[in-house]
Homo-oligomer: A and B are copies of this chain.
Amino acid sequence: MILPSPLRIEPIAGYSPTIGRLVGMLTYARSTTFAAVDGLTMADLDHLQDANSNSIGALLAHFAVVERSYQILTFEDRELSAKENERWSAALKLGASGRQSLRGYPLEHYLDELTTVRRVTLEMFAERDDEWLERSVVQAPKINAHWAWFHVAEDEINHRGQIRWLRARLPKRLAPVRP
């Protein structure tokens, strides 16, 4: 996979021009997410800043199911099945159910999920063209595929702002003793 230069938005080899620019945005957003959570422990990922806060781990789980949902909506032209809705509900909706169930995973678990779902997104983009990107979403004709995928980046960036805020306020832990 050819990764775009992180600080340029431009056509990328292997994608149609406008899809390439979009891939640049999605890739940049994802790289800042990875930087924002680098080195976090399971305790950090599970920490709740207050009674209404989402944990950083829950927000990472959210990114993966949001992206998977938009794959289904735009690549498969369908809505989520009842089973998918049920399985992803906590990560999609966050809040109380996310606080309850999205805990106890190490960072690698979330990063693996994100990497796996992104691989599919990029494969699907490589098979499509700019005309596809501009067409209306079948199940939601007020939006087009380009907006849908801009929104995937936009939602991630929104919550990444929250992750940065939360990370700066994690309880300080004693550094591990070095031998």
Chain A positions near chain B (C-beta within 8 angstroms): 7-10, 18, 21, 24-25, 28-29, 50, 52, 134, 142-144, 146-147, 150, 154, 157-162, 164-165, 168-169
User: In the assembled complex, how far is the CB of residue A50 from the closest CB belonging to chain B, in whole angstroms?
Assistant: 7
Of the residues B10, B150, B159, B162, contact of A9 by C-beta under 8 Å? B150
Residues of B within 8 A of A18 (CB): 18, 21
Q: Is the CB of B154 within 8 A of A52?
A: no
User: In the assembled complex, how far is the CB of residue A53 from the closest CB belonging to chain B, in whole angstroms?
Assistant: 8
Q: Is the CB of B157 within 8 A of A7?
A: no
Please judge, given known A-B contacts A160-B161, A169-B50, whether A154 and B29 are in contact too, CB under 8 Å: yes
Copies of this chain in the oligomer: 2
A10 to B134, CA, bound (A): 6
User: In the assembled complex, how far is the CB of residue A131 from the closest CB belonging to chain B, in whole angstroms?
Assistant: 11
A150 to B136, CA, bound (A): 23
Q: Is the CB of B7 within 8 A of A147?
A: yes
Residues of B within 8 A of A169 (CB): 50, 52
A159 to B161, CA, bound (A): 6
Q: Is the CB of B146 within 8 A of A9?
A: yes
A129 to B61, CA, bound (A): 39
User: In the assembled complex, how far is the CB of residue A55 from the closest CB belonging to chain B, in whole angstroms?
Assistant: 13
